[in-house]
Structure 1
Amino acid sequence: MSTPRFLTLPPGVRSRYLETAVGTFAALEALPVSGVPERWPALLVPGLTGSKEDFIAVLQTLAQSGRQVVAVDMRGQFETSGPDDPGAYTCAALGNDVDVLAHVIGHGGPVHLVGHSFGGLVTREAVIDGRTRFASFTLMSSGPSSIVGPRERAGRIMMKELPEFGLESIWHTRMEPEALAAGVPDEIIAFLRKRLFANSQTGMFAMTGEVLSAPDRSEELTQVEVPTLVLYGEHDDGWPPKTQSEMARRLNAECVVVPGSAHSPAVEAPETTAAALTRFWNAAETRLPG
C-alpha cells in the first residue's frame, strides 16, 4: 500500500479528465512554470491498490525540467470508472489503455512511460505490442513476473476474501491496521479509505489475479529498442531487490536503487526519485531522433 505524502496539489499541478477512444480517465497533470513544455511528455501509471495521487510528490519537480507530466488512474481505479467485465482488467486490456493514453498525451509523438508495481506489468504490455513509440520505459518497483513474498500472500488472501466479504474486509483487516501502525495522519487514512472503496471490486479481483499469475516477458521486452530503467527501493517488500537487479541485467537496462525507500520510491524518496527520472529522460532524448 502506498501512502501519498500530501494531498494538496502543488503549484503547476491540476486535476483533469482525459477523453480517449476507450473511455475517460482521471488524471493529474503537471506543466512547467512557463506553461510551455519543451521536452517530450511523460505518462505515469500506478500500482494495484494505488492511484495517480501516489505521484503527487514528484509531479512538480518532474515538470520543472520542461515537460508535461501526467499521472492517471487506470480503468476501474479510484476516479476512473470501469465495467463489471473481468476481461477489461487483464494486463493486455489495460496495456491497450496505456497505448491510447500515450497517443492522446503525446499527440502521436514519443512519450516517456513509467509503471509502478502492477503498473509495470501493465505498461510493459504497451511497450511490447509495438503500437506506440515510447521515448523511454521505467519499471518502478516492478518485477519480471508474478509478485512474490508478503505481497503475494496478501494478494492470495484478497482473492479468497473479496468475493465473499468485499472491499470492507481488505480495509478492516489489512489496510487500516497497517496505516494506523505506521502513524499515518487521520486525513490521509480518510483518503486511503475513500480511494479503496471507489475502486471497482471486479477490477480489483481481476487485477489481483493478474499480478499473481503474470508470466516473465523479459525476453520479449529485450527485443524492443527503447531506453529502459529499473528503479526500486533498497528495502522493497514487493519483488526482491535482487530479482529486480537481475531483471535489469537481463534487459540491459539502467538500474537505480533508491536509498531508504521500500516499495514506493515516489512517495518515500520523491526528490531522489524525481532526479533519477529526469536524468534518465533527458539522456534518453539525446539518444533518440526527433
Structure 2
Amino acid sequence: MTTRPTNSTPSPFPTPPGADAYRLPTARGDFAVVDSPVATGVEPRGVALLLPGFTGSKEDFHLLHEPLAARGYRVVAVDGRGQNETGGPADDESPYAQEELARDVLAQAAALDTPLHLVGHSLGGQIARAAVLLDHSPFVSFTLLSSGPAEISESQKQRVKLLHDALTVMTMPEVWAAILAMGPPEEVGGPARGFGGPEQLRLRWLNHRPAQLLATGRQLCTEPNRVGELAAVPLPLHVLSGAYDDTWPVTILDGMAVTLRAQRTVIPGAEHSPNMERPLPTAQALADFWDKHGRRD
C-alpha cells in the first residue's frame, strides 16, 4: 500500500481529524484531495477513492472519513477538474467532457498506486462509471452512491436549466446571491448545501469553474443508459442510496441494481446525500461491502 504524500498545504476547508489536505500530482495535473489514514491500531484493509457530485466537493465526504478509518480503510476524497480547489479553465468546456474527466480518475488511481474501492456520488458516479468502462483494472469494487443509470429526472433537469441560464448571463457571485435569494440552504439544496458553514459553501461555489458546471450539467441531462456495459465489467458492484431521491427515483435505482446483479443498500432517513444525511450507516454499508470483497495486493 502506498504512503501518503507529505506536501500538505493550508486550506480554508475543514478536514477530518488526522486527515491531510494536499494536491495529488498525476500525469494529468494536480488534484486537491483530503486523505485520511487508517485509525491507529487498526489493521489496514484497503484504500477508497471518493468522487463528489454536481456542484459538490471532497468536503461532502467529511463525515465518512473517521468511521471508515476505524474499519481499516484509508479514504481519499478528491475535487475533480474545475471543482472547488482543483483548477481548470473557466470558459473552455472541452476539458470537462465526460471521457476527459474519466481519464482524470484513472490518473488519480495511477498516482495512488494501489488497488482502490471506487465510490462516485451522483454525477461522480457517472464519471466513475465512464472510468471503469475505460479501464477497470485499478479498482477492486465500485459503488454508485445515489447515482442512476441515465439522465436525471425532469424536475432536476429544470433546476439544472435554471442554473445554466443564470451562468450564461451572470457572474459566479451574482448567481450565488440569486441562489440564496431562493430561500434557506436546506430548502434551496444544491450548491447551498454541504459540509461547512455559509462562508465555506460560498467559497466552494466561487471556486468552481463555470465551464465545469455548464458541461457537467449538460451531461446529467443527456447521459445515456450504460448499465448493460457496466454489467459486463468483472467488478463487485454496489448501488447505495437514501430511501427517497428526486434526482433518480429509488425504484429506478432498484432496477439498475437488479440489472447489474449488484449489492443494494437503502439508507433509511436519507435522501440524495446519505454521506452527509446519515454518515454512520452509510460508512457501515460501504465498509461491509468492501470487507466482503477484500482487496487485490
Q: CA contact under 8 A between 2:136 and 2:235: conserved in structure 1? A: no
For 1:193, which of 196, 202, 222 is the aligned residue?
202
State the Cα deviation string for residues 120-148 of structure 1 (Å, max 9, x = none).
Answer: 11000111112533110000011101111
User: What corresponds to 1:4 in structure 2?
Assistant: none
SS, match of residue 130 in structure 2: helix
Is the Cα contact below 8 Å between 2:51 and 2:77 reproduced in 1?
Answer: yes
Partner of 1:154: 159
What is the rounded CA distance, in whole Å, between the counterparts of 1:8 and 1:52 in structure 2? 10
Following the alignment from structure 1 to structure 2, what is the Cα–Cα distance between the partners of residues 234 and 82? 35
Contact in 1 for aligned 2:19/2:36 (Cα 8 Å):
yes
Matched, 1:137 2:136: no
The answer to whether the Cα contact below 8 Å between 1:235 and 1:262 also exists between their aligned partners in 2 is yes
**1:37 shift after superposition:** 6.7
The answer as to 2:262 corresponding to 1:253 is yes
Aligned partner of 2:28 in structure 1 is 22
* Code of the aligned partner of 1:113: L
Given the alignment, which residue of 210, 217, 223 partners 2:219?
210
Flag the 1:179–1:19 CA change in 2: closer, same or farther, 3 A.
farther
Q: 2:101 aligns with which of 91, 94, 100?
A: 94
Q: Which amino acid aligns with 1:50?
A: G
Deviation at 1:266, TM superposition (A): 0.4
CA RMSD, Structure 1 to Structure 2 (Å): 2.2
- Tell me by how many angstroms 1:87 deviates: 1.3
- Per-residue CA deviation, residues 79-138 of structure 1 (Å, 9 max, x unaligned), is 000124311112111010011111212x1x321000000001100011111253311000
| Separation of aligned partners in 2, 1:26 and 1:176 | 30
Q: Give secondary structure in 2 for the equivalent of 1:41.
A: strand
Partner of 1:241: 250
Quote the Cα distance in structure 1 between the aligned partners of 2:223 and 2:241: 19
Distance in structure 2 (CA, Å) of the matches to 1:209 and 1:41? 31
Structure 1 residue 281 corresponds to structure 2 residue 287: no
Distance 2:186 2:296 in 1: 50
* Matching residue within 231, 242, 247 for 2:240: 231
Q: 1:99 to 1:234 in 2, by over 3 A?
A: same
Q: Following the alignment from structure 2 to structure 1, what is the Cα–Cα distance between the partners of residues 276 and 116?
A: 23
| Residues 123-132 or 139-148, more deviating | 123-132
* Structure 2 Cα separation of the partners of residues 180 and 87 of structure 1: 31
Q: Write the distance in 1 (CA, Å) between the matches of 2:158 and 2:53.
A: 17
2:183 & 2:55 partners in 1: Cα distance? 14
Distance 1:175 1:270 in 2: 26
Which piece of structure 1 moves more, 73-82 or 127-136?
127-136
Could you tell me which runs of 5 or more consecutive residues in structure 2 were left unpaired when the two chains were aligned.
Answer: 1-12
CA contact (8 A) 1:99 1:131 kept: no
Alpha-carbon distance in structure 1 between the residues aligned to 2:289 and 2:183: 33
1:113 pairs with 2:118: yes
Letter paired with 1:100: A
Q: Do the aligned partners of residues 46 and 289 (structure 1) sit closer, same or farther apart at CA in structure 2, a change above 3 Å counting?
A: closer
Q: In structure 2, what is the Cα distance between the partners aligned to 1:172 and 1:117?
A: 25
Which one-letter code corresponds to 1:193 in the other structure?
Answer: R
Distance 1:25 1:242, change over 3 A: same
Quote the Cα distance in structure 2 between the aligned partners of 1:35 and 1:90: 42
Query: Counterpart amino acid of 2:79?
Result: D
Query: Any idea what the Cα deviations from partners look like across 1:10-57, whole Å, max 9, x if unmatched?
Result: 322221110111011001111112388722210000001100000000
The one-letter code matched in structure 2 to 1:97 is: D
The equivalent residue for 1:122 is 127
Structure 1: distance between partners of 2:259 and 2:174: 39
What secondary structure is seen at the aligned counterpart in 2 of 1:28?
A: strand
What residue number does 1:220 align with?
229
Unmatched segments (≥5 aa) in structure 1:
1-6
SS at match of 1:68: strand
Residue pair 1:27, 1:73 contacting (<8 A) in 2 also: yes
Matched residue of 1:15: which SS?
strand
Question: Does the Cα contact within 8 Å between 1:230 and 1:255 map onto a contact in 2?
Answer: yes
Tell me the secondary structure at the aligned position of residue 170 of structure 2: helix
> Which amino acid in structure 2 is aligned with residue 71 of structure 1?
A
Query: Could you tell me how far apart the structure 2 residues matched to 1:246 and 1:170 are?
Result: 36
| CA pair 169-208 structure 1, distance change in 2 beyond 3 A | farther
